[in-house]
Amino acid sequence: MTDQATEPRPPHTTPLETARAQLASAIEILGYGEGLHQMLATPRREMNVAIPLRRDDGEVVLFTGYRVQHNISRGPGKGGLRYSSSVDVDEVRALAMWMTWKCAVVDVPYGGAKGGVTIDPRLHSQAELERVTRRYTSEIMPIIGPERDIMAPDIGTDEQTMAWVMDTYSVNLGYTIPAVTTGKPLAVGGSLGRPTATSRGVVHAATAALADAGVRLDEVSAAVQGFGKVGSHACRFLHEAGARVVAVSDEHGGVRAADGLDVPALLRHVQEAGTVTGFAGGEPISNAELLALDVDLLIPAAVEGVLDEESAARVKARWVVEAANGPTTTEGDRVLADRGVQVVPDILANAGGVIVSYFEWVQANQAYWWTEHEIAERLEQRMLASYRSVASLAHAEGLSLRDAALAIGVRRVAEAHQIRGLYP
Ligand SMILES: NC(=O)C1=CN([C@@H]2O[C@H](COP(=O)(O)OP(=O)(O)OC[C@H]3O[C@@H](n4cnc5c(N)ncnc54)[C@H](OP(=O)(O)O)[C@@H]3O)[C@@H](O)[C@H]2O)C=CC1
Ligand SMILES: O=C(O)CCC(=O)C(=O)O
């Protein structure tokens, strides 16, 4: 009999290890050879840049930034820009690889890319963040552009960041080029519906997964980890659809109310306090406790790796819908599968953001703008059609939704290589 207390813990799985293991699983399912595997595992192009910043008080500090283009065979690189003190090149490589499969699964004509700067944006003024963003953009100018690589917001960045990137790029070329970023403010060529698109897509994916089991959203309870751009709107949409949102959290901790949180009041609290903690309409709860709550639907919407072997073993939810990128490690995935938890994978569940980014890029390229209704309708159609093709393959082949989504995404990218003549 094993002594649980003395058994060594498995080493922490990094996002890149998770991404590589997922690719290996898809390669096996598809029966591809080692040459193609290596090509798909390796980023096509990477740039590391040094970003000196003169702080508001005159001190000079140096940051490191990255842009990784994992694959550009189906179109330009596409993916967010992350500002976080924990960003490193391997994390950006993993996020870029996930973008490649995501864009292919929902069939938007892009490859996959991601950027990051190792900086905690909460410790800097807007003026400092603007200088960092402009310097980072200037350094990576040679590899970005509307036909090369298009940026969008991710953790720690927002519409304003995208406006600075777009302006820096445009000023360097001498004319305005809105399509170099997406997730911009409307005033500079942003799209209606982009700020809420990822969250809407998550709720469409959740609705479809529940419907496959004959369950409606207004019958379920939900817990959401992360209350930023994605998590906060996801809570709002779940609440509006009649789901009982019983717990939410951010990096400081969480709040819980068994009968359901008053989400509009919670959103007002966060506007004032900057955190969900201290909300009078709920009891305090830790992030670890939130993941283990007895709810129907669990939505991780924060960072990678939160559902590992240990935390996954405590999950009581019947569905995990991954709003975050890479929230489940390979071991966590196995544990959830063994326990019968249905996981709607990140590359499908959170693709609403890149779908509406694609709509924004199309609109900017045409200089012709769609209505919010048109965008919401096209987003829903594409999310549901993508979910259906993933779920059908999973059903037909006896695969998990993750393996089915990866198989579709990886196969489409491999086909592009083959047809272009790059098949090794
Ligand atoms: N923005 C988008 O369009 C898309 C985002 N994603 C993914 O969604 C996730 C969230 O992104 P986004 O909402 O944009 O990012 P934000 O920076 O807007 O929000 C991140 C949220 O996560 C919280 N958080 C950070 N670290 C932890 C932690 N260790 N435990 C619990 N909560 C934590 C933050 O808390 P605090 O506020 O206290 O710092 C904040 O509430 C990321 O995985 C991102 O890659 C995926 C597709 C598109
Ligand atoms: O909107 C985009 O281009 C990509 C957003 C993103 O970074 C993601 O989907 O992870």
pLDDT score of 276 more than 60: yes
Distance CA 407, CA 172 (A): 40
Nearest 10 degrees: CA dihedral of 268, 270, 276, 280? Answer: -40
> Mean pLDDT over residues 368-391, rounded?
98
Cβ partners under 8 Å of residue 250, min gap 6: 226, 227, 228, 231, 275, 276, 277, 302
Among the atoms of ligand 1, which is closest to the Cα of residue 326? 43
Task: Find the CATH number of the domain harbouring 132.
Answer: 3.40.50.10860
Task: Provide the b/e sequence for 85-101 (b: ≥16 CB within 10 Å).
Answer: eebebebbbbbbbbbbb
Whether residues 171 and 200 fall in one domain: no
**146 with 179: CB under 8 angstroms?**
yes
Shared domain for 140 and 226, answered yes or no, is: no
Asked whether residue 297 is domain-assigned, the answer is: yes
Query: In the sheet that 149-153 helps form, which strands lie side by side, from edge to edge?
Result: 45-54, 60-71, 112-118, 77-84, 149-153
For residue 321, report the phi and psi dihedrals to the nearest 5 degrees.
-115, 115
pLDDT value at residue 4: 37
Q: Which atom of ligand 2 is nearest to the CA of 354?
A: 1
Ligand 1 mean position to 356 CA, how many Å?
18
Answer with the residue of higher pLDDT: 172 or 423.
172
What's the gap in Å between 68 CA and the centre of ligand 1?
20
Which of 177, 211, 231 corresponds to the end of one domain? 177
SS3 content of the chain, % helix, strand, coil (to 5): 50, 20, 30
For residue 306, give the ligand nearest its CA.
1
- How does 267-293 read in b/e, with b if 16+ C-beta sit within 10 Å? bebbeeeebbbebeebeebebebbbbb
Does 4 fall in a domain? no
Has residue 375 been placed in a domain? no
User: Residue 364 domain-assigned?
Assistant: no
Q: Which atom of ligand 2 is nearest to the CA of 154?
A: 7
Whether residue 316 lies in the annotated active site: no
User: How far is CA 397 from each of CA 33, 335, 339, 407, rounded to the nearest angstrom?
Assistant: 20, 21, 20, 11
Please give the distance, rounded to the nearest whole angstrom, from the Cα atom of residue 357 to the centre of ligand 2.
8
Provide the residue range defining the domain that includes 274: 195-349
> Is there a single domain that holds both residue 142 and residue 226?
no
Both 281 and 204 in one domain: the answer is yes
Ligand nearest to the CA of 303: 1
Q: Are 111 and 76 in contact (CB under 8 A)?
A: yes
Cβ neighbors of 330 (< 8 A, separation 6 or more) are: 13, 17, 18, 21, 22
Cα–Cα distance between 372 and 375 in angstroms, integer? 5
Counting atoms of ligand 2 from 1, which one is nearest the CA of 350? 9
Residue 8 is predicted with a pLDDT of 46
What percent of the chain has pLDDT above 90?
Answer: 96
Task: Please name which of 327, 354, 343 lies closest in space to residue 390, comparing C-alpha atoms.
Answer: 343
User: Rounded CA gap, 381 and 23, in Å?
Assistant: 27
Pick the range with the lowest mean pLDDT from 8-17, 29-38, 179-188, 354-363: 8-17
Query: DSSP letter at 375?
Result: H
Using alpha carbons, select from 344, 307, 325, 321 the residue that is nearest to residue 95: 325
Q: If you average pLDDT over every residue of the chain, what do you get?
A: 96
Residue 423 clears pLDDT 70, i.e. is over it: no
Q: Which CATH number goes with the domain that contains 334?
A: 3.40.50.720
114 shares a domain with 241: no
Q: By the 8 A CB rule, do 323 and 202 touch?
A: yes
- Label residue 32 exposed, middle or buried (CB < 10 Å: 0-12, 13-18, 19+): middle
Residue with tokens 């909300």: 279
Parallel, antiparallel, or unpaired for β 45-54 and 60-71? antiparallel
With bands split at pLDDT 50, 70 and 90, how would you rate the model's confidence at 365? very high
Q: How far apart are CA 245 and CA 279, in angstroms?
A: 14
* Whole-prediction pTM: 0.96
* 6 pLDDT tier (thresholds 50, 70, 90): very low
The string of pLDDT tens digits covering residues 225-260 is 999 999 999 999 999 999 999 999 999 999 999 999
Residue 421 CB contacts under 8 Å (≥ 6 apart), including other chains: none
Tokens of 131: 């200088």
The answer to the question of residue 403 being in a domain is no
Distance CA 274, CA 252 (A): 10
One-letter-per-residue 3-state SS of 394-422: HHHHCCCHHHHHHHHHHHHHHHHHHHHCC
**Per the structure, how many domains does the chain have?**
2
Residue 157 tokens, joined: 């960045």
User: Which residue among 154, 229, 304 has the greatest number of ligand 2 atoms within 8 angstroms of its CB, and so is best to mutate?
Assistant: 154
Which residue minimizes the CA distance to atom 7 of ligand 2? 80
Looking at the DSSP assignment, which residues form a beta bridge with residue 63?
A: 51
Ligand nearest to the CA of 349: 1
What pLDDT, on a 0 to 100 scale, did the predictor assign at position 21?
97
Averaged pLDDT for residues 162-180? 98
Give 205-222 pLDDT, tens digit per residue.
999 999 999 999 999 999
Shared domain check, 207 and 137: no
In this structure, the residues whose C-beta lies within 6 A of any atom of ligand 2 are: 78-80, 99, 102, 152, 154, 182-183, 325, 350, 353-354, 357
Distance of CA 303 from the midpoint of ligand 1 (Å): 6
* Burial of 57 (C-beta count, 10 Å sphere; 0-12/13-18/19+): exposed
pLDDT one-digit tens code per residue, 78-98: 999 999 999 999 999 999 999
Q: How far apart are CA 135 and CA 129, in angstroms?
A: 10
- Identify whether the C-beta of residue 63 lies closer than 8 Å to the C-beta of residue 117: yes
Identify the active-site residue in 114, 184, 229, 316.
Answer: 114
Residues 334 and 286 in one domain: yes
Are 152 and 268 contained in the same domain?
no
Q: Which residues line ligand 1 (CB under 6 A)?
A: 153-156, 198, 225-231, 249-252, 275, 287, 301-303, 323-325, 350, 353
Q: What is the pLDDT of residue 422?
A: 67
Please report, in range form, the residues annotated as the binding site for substrate: 78, 102, 357
Q: Could you read off the pLDDT of 233-242 as tens digits, one per residue?
A: 999 999 999 9
- 373: in domain: no
Q: Are residues 214 and 308 in the same domain?
A: yes
CA distance 172 to 192: 27
User: Would you give the DSSP letter of residue 27?
Assistant: H
Note whether 235 and 301 are same-domain residues: yes
pLDDT at 5: 38
Mean pLDDT, residues 319-337 taken together: 98
pLDDT at 1: 32
3 pLDDT more than 70: no
Within this chain, do residues 199 and 309 fall inside the same structural domain, yes or no?
yes
Q: For the residues 344-364, what does the mean pLDDT come to?
A: 98
* Cα distances (angstroms) measured from residue 120 to each of 48, 89, 123, 124: 18, 16, 6, 8
Q: Is residue 342 part of a domain?
A: yes
- Domain end residue (candidates: 315, 349, 383): 349
Residue 392 domain flag: no
Last-in-domain residue among 305, 325, 349: 349
| Same domain flag for 204 and 294 | yes
**Mean pLDDT score, 335-357:** 98
Two tokens, residue 248: 């939410």
